[in-house]
Every structure is written in structure tokens, then in C-alpha cells.
Amino acid sequence: MPTLAHECSPAVSGRREQLFRGLGEPSRLRILYALADGPLSVSEIARTVGLSQPNTSNHLACLVGCGLVVSQRRGRFVFYRHADDHVSLLLRVADEIVLDPIRANLECPRCGVRL
């Protein structure tokens, strides 16, 4: 299996950038966390994360396009869920990083962002 550093082709780099763009917007990240417990409809997601339905739909379209979320029609409603278990794992790993007490007081000297 190739190492992470080995996989730096333009195509792979572009897909990584697309993934992190999908994760990099606060509303989309809140949507992903809202879906951690299972599928939700657009109205349920909007209510949970505090966005309008049209705004939620736009963010969901991005998350679907990034491969992080999939949709399934049930009657008149469309339900969204994580595309697979890797998305849930990614969120858990992100939480482990930001909740690590060793990193809790780190601040980037360049941009001033704290974890």
C-alpha cells in the first residue's frame, strides 16, 4: 500500500482539497455532526443546525458533491446520511485532535488560531 506522501498526484491532491473544502465551512461541519446519529431530512437538519431550509439544501448539495453525504428518497422526503463509516471516523479523529489536552493551549504563531 502506498504511503500518504507517495499519493501526491494532481488528481489525488485535488480530491483531498475538495474533501477539506467540504469540511472547512462551519455550517457544513455542523451538518456532518448532526448526521452522526443517523439519517435526517432537510427540515430536521435545518432545525438542528439553525439554518434555513434553502441554505441547508445548498450545503447538502456541496456535501453530496464532495462524497461525504448521500441521499435517499423515502416517499415525499429525502433523507441524508454519511456516505460511509469513514465520515464518522473522520469526525471522531477530528474530535480526538481538538480535544487532546496537550493541544488545548496551542496557538498557531502564523494565524493565531487556537485548536
Question: pLDDT tens for residues 36-88?
Answer: 999 999 999 999 999 999 999 999 999 999 899 999 999 999 999 999 999 99
Q: What is the residue type of 24?
A: G
Q: What is the pLDDT of residue 113?
A: 67
pTM of the shown model: 0.82
The x, y and z cell numbers of residue 106, run together, are 496551542
Between 103 and 13, residue with greater pLDDT: 13
Residue 45 belongs to domain with CATH number: 1.10.10.10
Domain containing 14: what range? 10-83
Residue 2 has pLDDT above 90, yes or no: no
Instruction: Note whether residue 60 is domain-resident.
Output: yes
Q: Give SS3 for 40.
A: strand
Instruction: Note whether residue 97 is domain-resident.
Output: no
Q: What is the mean pLDDT of residues 23-34?
A: 95
As for how many domains the chain has, the answer is 1
Instruction: Note whether residue 77 is domain-resident.
Output: yes
Instruction: Note whether residue 95 is domain-resident.
Output: no
Instruction: Note whether residue 14 is domain-resident.
Output: yes
Smallest CA-to-CA distance from 77 within 40, 111, 114, 103 is with 40
Instruction: Note whether residue 102 is domain-resident.
Output: no
Instruction: Note whether residue 88 is domain-resident.
Output: no
